[in-house]
Amino acid sequence: MALALTWRPAIAPIQPPPANSFSPTIVARGAALAQIADCMVCHTAPNGRPFAGGRPLKTPFGTLYSTNITPDPATGIGHWSFAAFERAMRQGVSRTGAHLYPALPYEHFTHVSDQDLGALYAFLMSRRPVAAIAPANRLIFPLGFRPMLAGWNLLFLHQGPLTIDPSESAEWNRGAYLAEGLGHCAACHSPRNLLGGEERSHLYAGGVAEGWRAPALDQSNPAKQRWTPEALYTFLRTGISPDHSAAAGPMGPVVESLSHAPDADVRAIATYIASKMAERASSSPSVPPTNKPYGARQAYPIGATLFAGACAGCHDTGAPMAGQGRPLLSLASDLSDTDPTSAIQAVLRGIEPPVADRGPNMPPFSDNLTDEQVAATLAYARARFTNQPPWPHLDRMVAKARKESQP
């Protein structure tokens, strides 16, 4: 019975189709869809060739390495027919019949239409082939035994197209299709259970992505000011919203991809996601900034001194950065969140400009500040720029984040 549940047949290999055998219009459509799906982000190693795989992805179960999805016959998907590609995207099973790890978010890709999958296939198969073999995955025992993933699929894979909501606009429904399908927004922004499945009863309630906190995108979103569709559109296009935050960590590459996606599609995603956060009773279009330097200094004198030396040049009142359209710390979601993970990571790792070297650029302080100093600085910043209670066990969380961020 176990063999019957886990076994999948191999799909016969094909000769790699010539790149010019695909319609340029369909390839262009696939290129746009690949931007929304962040294909290149996950399937490109640091300083590697696009789509050639090898990027490490740390998970609670070990480290996975993305595969080569260029049309190289030996190491990529050159021998894959569309039927093999479609099965991988919808069922999480490779051409050879091996089960794929859900780091490939096929539980979302399963909702993508045949037409869009065909366009994405045409785009990938018309890329330049690259011979590259990904490093072996390093997973805790016995998770390297792929047939176990058939059980995961039985529990968490829900196949079928998404349902159109006739009460919503065409733009909203388009955004839902993109966000729930190729965009796989819930994959990062939802909590996961012990088996790594999304908690469907708490979708968009916040999650973890590569060591960073992916904030909630529902009514519990920690933003001090309400996210409007226009504000979210600007953030997804540029990586910054003056009334909210700047994109950091894994969100930076997502924004870089979306900056090249069709404008109408990004607006549709913004409309859909903003609707999930729109009914927060505590939010308002305009909230005065919080700034309590005296009380924060009294509570955290060491943090105040460190902030003055390391942070005030950009983040203090009257600093030039505020005049350049950068968000104030009093509006930053990371400082207001109940979970300090992303605030810690921003200090340790810094923030890089997400789009064409434009936007916020914050240097990392992991080599300059100790765990205790990072904790003291963040405790002071939270006390000064928010009305939230102190984060408990902050020093221990800083040490944990530093350890997990090391190679």
Strand ranges (E), 140-228 = 207-209, 212-214
**Residue scoring higher pLDDT (279 or 371):** 371
pLDDT score, position 60: 86
User: In 38-135, where does DSSP find H-type helix?
Assistant: 39-42, 82-91, 106-109, 114-125
pLDDT score, position 328: 82
The answer to whether 111 and 161 are in contact (CB under 8 A) is yes
Using pLDDT thresholds of 50, 70 and 90, give the confidence band for residue 407: low
Provide the terminal-to-terminal Cα distance of the chain, rounded to the nearest Å. Answer: 41
Note whether 264 and 325 are same-domain residues.
no
Note whether 29 and 130 are same-domain residues.
yes
How many structural domains comprise the chain?
A: 3
Among 217, 244, 276, the domain boundary falls at 276
The residue range of the domain holding 108 is 20-137
In a domain, 155, yes or no: no
Q: What is the mean pLDDT of the chain?
A: 91
Note whether 307 and 342 are same-domain residues.
yes
Q: Quick check: helix, strand or coil at residue 8?
A: coil
Read off the tokens for 349: 């790792």
Note whether 195 and 259 are same-domain residues.
yes
In a domain, 6, yes or no: no
Is pLDDT of 282 > 50? no
Note whether 235 and 337 are same-domain residues.
no
Mean pLDDT calculated for residue range 342-358: 85
pLDDT score, position 235: 94
Check which CATH number belongs to the domain holding 203 and give it: 1.10.760
Alpha-carbon separation of residue 102 from 59, 235, 401 (angstroms): 11, 28, 24
Among 243, 276, 309, the domain boundary falls at 276
Residues belonging to the chain: 407
Among 276, 309, 326, the domain boundary falls at 276
Per-residue pLDDT of 177-210, as tens digits, reads 999 999 999 999 999 999 999 999 999 999 999 8
Is pLDDT of 64 > 80? yes
In a domain, 283, yes or no: no
Note whether 264 and 221 are same-domain residues.
yes
Is pLDDT of 228 > 80? yes
pLDDT score, position 283: 46
Read off the tokens for 391: 């984060």
Note whether 302 and 269 are same-domain residues.
no
In a domain, 143, yes or no: no
Mean pLDDT calculated for residue range 215-222: 92
pLDDT score, position 281: 43
pLDDT score, position 331: 87
pLDDT score, position 327: 76
Check which CATH number belongs to the domain holding 330 and give it: 1.10.760.10
Alpha-carbon separation of residue 114 from 17, 117, 162, 179, 374 (angstroms): 19, 5, 13, 17, 49
**Residue scoring higher pLDDT (322 or 264):** 264
Note whether 310 and 393 are same-domain residues.
yes
Q: Quick check: helix, strand or coil at residue 240?
A: strand
CA atoms of 243 and 260, how far apart (whole Å): 23
The answer to whether 212 and 350 are in contact (CB under 8 A) is no
In a domain, 152, yes or no: no
- 342, 401, 393: which is closest to 369 by C-alpha? 401
Is pLDDT of 280 > 60? no
Note whether 69 and 106 are same-domain residues.
yes
Using pLDDT thresholds of 50, 70 and 90, give the confidence band for residue 352: confident
The answer to whether 64 and 56 are in contact (CB under 8 A) is yes
- Strand 207-209 versus strand 212-214 pairing type: antiparallel
Q: Which of 43-52, 144-153, 326-335 has the highest mean pLDDT?
A: 43-52
Read off the tokens for 255: 């924004």
Note whether 223 and 127 are same-domain residues.
no
Residue 402 CA to chain centroid, in angstroms? 20
Note whether 185 and 130 are same-domain residues.
no
Read off the tokens for 125: 């198969």
pLDDT score, position 90: 96
CA atoms of 402 and 204, how far apart (whole Å): 26
In a domain, 336, yes or no: yes
pLDDT score, position 322: 60
pLDDT score, position 16: 93
* Count of Cβ atoms closer than 10 Å to residue 298 Cβ: 11
Note whether 304 and 214 are same-domain residues.
no
In a domain, 11, yes or no: no
pLDDT score, position 391: 96
Q: Could you identify the residue written with the tokens 């240097």? A: 363
In a domain, 353, yes or no: yes
Taking each continuous run of H as one helix and of E as one strand, the counts in the chain are 19, 5
Q: Could you identify the residue written with the tokens 């390093």? A: 138
CA angle 379, 382, 386 (to 5 degrees): 160
